[in-house]
Amino acid sequence: MEPFTTHTGVGVPLRRSNVDTDQIIPAVYLKRVSRTGFADGLFAAWRADADFVLNAEPYRSGSVLVAGPDFGTGSSREHAVWALADYGFRVVVSSRFADIFRGNAGKQGLLAAQCEQSDVERLWRALEAEPGVEVTVDLREKTVRAKDFAVPFAIDDYTRWRLLEGLDDIALTLRHSAEVDAFERARPSWLPTTQSVAG
């Protein structure tokens, strides 16, 4: 995973709440067996509408998405994160993220930055007043800066550390293999296995 420290790019105002993962990428796009190539499915239904924000220049080349509350609800599909990243987004700003989406984003180096709703609205106004304005997201300072103002965002310290360092979760866990071995030896014997049983 690429380390993330700061990112500067065009901010995209998405004035929608409850942007569920079926909107981010509809199920018919989930059939690929790779992690790449999902950008064409991003917001597929909405992009068919000429008025959708990503169909307008200069938002089309945006990399910081600023959305309404409850972003990423619904399905656990990590394809939603892959689609956003594949399209070119590095940051999503929202006042509330669904838990699974937030976790998935953190695994893929997509920053889920949680701001107060009033700050989201301030960002929306700035991005709409001057389309194409660049936004700088600083993970060390935990701020989103647009024009002449900056707003703070929240992220848990562990995810922040992993993003800053670009660390892989599995490698971190494998450092504790001896503890996993010990735990396994103490598991109760009645617990099921998936091995086929007679009958």
Partner 1 sequence: MGRTLAEKVWDAHVVRRGDGDEPDLLYIDLHLVHEVTSPQAFDGLRAAGRPVRRPDLTIATEDHNVPTVGVDLPIADPVSRTQVETLRRNCAEFGVRLHPMGDAEQGIVHVVGPQLGLTQPGMTVVCGDSHTSTHGAFGALAFGIGTSEVEHVLATQTLPLRPFRTMAITVDGRLRPGVTAKDVILAVIARIGTGGGQGYVLEYRGSAIESLSVEARMTICNMSIEAGARAGMIAPDETTFEYLRGRPHAPTGAEWDAAVEYWRTLRTDPDAVFDREIRLDAEELTPFVTWGTNPGQGLPLAERVPDPTRIADEVERVAAEKALAYMGLNPGTPLREIGVDTVFLGSCTNGRIEDLRAAADVLRGRRVAEGVRMLVVPGSMRVRAQAEHEGLHEVFLAAGAEWRSAGCSMCLGMNPDQLRPGERSASTSNRNFEGRQGKGGRTHLVSPLVAAATAVRGTLSSPEDLD
22 touches partner 1 (CB under 8 A)? yes
Q: Which of residues 35-94 bind partner 1 (CB under 8 A)?
A: 35, 45, 68-70, 73-79, 81
Kindly tell me which residue out of 11, 13, 14, 23 binds partner 1, with binding defined by CB under 8 A. Answer: 23
Positions of E strands within the chain: 6-14, 64-67, 91-94, 111-114, 134-138, 143-146, 149-152
What is the C-alpha separation between 91 and 110, in angstroms, rounded?
A: 6
129 touches partner 1 (CB under 8 A)? no
> Is residue 4 within 8 Å of 118, Cβ to Cβ?
no
| Backbone φ and ψ of 14, nearest 5° | -115, 95
Rounded to the nearest whole angstrom, what is the least distance from the CB of residue 176 to partner 1 in the complex?
A: 5
* Count of residues that bind partner 1 according to CB under 8 A: 65
| Distance between first and last Cα of the chain | 47
Length of the chain: 199
Kindly tell me which residue out of 7, 47, 60, 107 binds partner 1, with binding defined by CB under 8 A. Answer: 107
- Note the residues at the interface with partner 1 (CB under 8 A): 15-18, 20, 22-23, 26-28, 30-35, 45, 68-70, 73-79, 81, 96-100, 103-104, 107-108, 117, 156-158, 161, 169-170, 172-174, 176-177, 179-180, 183-184, 187-197, 199
